[in-house]
């Protein structure tokens, strides 16, 4: 038993709609406007810990050190920037390398010495070294009237 299934859009007032015709011809007095949406992409990011540091390592080739923006706020390290496509192309045959605005964030679960944070960019990797804060001993002093 052969069955034919027809798939389409139906308007309750006018019956079947010609979707293909609708896509080819805009409404009278209108024209198609193609826009390019810029998506923020996320580069591969590792967060790991050594005895003395929390290290955030981002794989992002084709950048310069000045192209990065790095901030730490409420234990969240935010790394962002823009990677521009360096060459003109007539048409892509295959496109897998992301360009444009990127952003990655990492939660830092430990207290760090914010004044000693360092970042280096080498061989396509951005490394942010966040030194762990050393425990600080708080001295207790005796009050003058003998009460603590």
Q: pLDDT per residue over 57-92, tens digit each? A: 999 999 999 999 999 999 999 999 999 887 787 788
**Cα angle vertex 75, ends 98, 129, to 5°?**
65
Predicted confidence (pLDDT) at residue 1 exceeds the cutoff of 60: no
pTM over 0.85: no
Sheet holding 125-131, edge to edge: 45-49, 53-59, 125-131, 118-122
Secondary structure percentages of the chain, helix, strand, coil, to 5: 10, 35, 55
> 13 falls in which pLDDT band (50, 70, 90)?
low
* Local structure of 114: helix, strand or coil: helix
The domain made up of 45-86+98-131 has a fold known as Immunoglobulin-like (2.60.40)
Q: Whole-angstrom Cα distance, residue 77 to residue 109?
A: 11
- Displacement of CA 137 from its chain's centroid (Å): 39
What residue segments make up the domains of the chain, in order of their start? Answer: 45-86+98-131
> 128 falls in which pLDDT band (50, 70, 90)?
very high
Q: Whole-angstrom Cα distance, residue 47 to residue 56?
A: 5
What percentage of the chain exceeds 70 in pLDDT? 72
Predicted confidence (pLDDT) at residue 29 exceeds the cutoff of 90: no
Residues 6+ apart with CB under 8 A from 25: none
What's the length of the chain? 148
Q: What is the mean pLDDT of residues 101-113?
A: 95
* Local structure of 115: helix, strand or coil: helix
């Amino acid at each position: 038993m052969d069955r034919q299934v027809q798939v389409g859009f139906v308007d309750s007032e006018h019956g079947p709609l010609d979707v293909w015709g609708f896509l080819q011809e805009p409404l009278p007095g209108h024209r198609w406007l193609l826009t390019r949406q810029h998506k923020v992409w996320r580069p591969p990011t590792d967060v790991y810990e050594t005895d003395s540091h929390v290290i955030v390592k981002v794989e992002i080739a084709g950048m310069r050190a000045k192209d990065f923006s790095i901030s730490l706020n409420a234990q969240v390290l935010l790394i962002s920037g823009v990677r521009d496509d360096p060459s003109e192309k007539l048409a892509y045959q295959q496109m897998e390398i992301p360009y444009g605005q990127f952003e990655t964030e990492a939660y830092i679960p430990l207290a760090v010495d914010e004044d000693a944070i360092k970042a280096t960019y080498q061989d396509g990797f951005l490394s942010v070294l966040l030194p762990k804060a050393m425990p600080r001993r708080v001295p207790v002093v005796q009050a003058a009237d003998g009460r603590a």
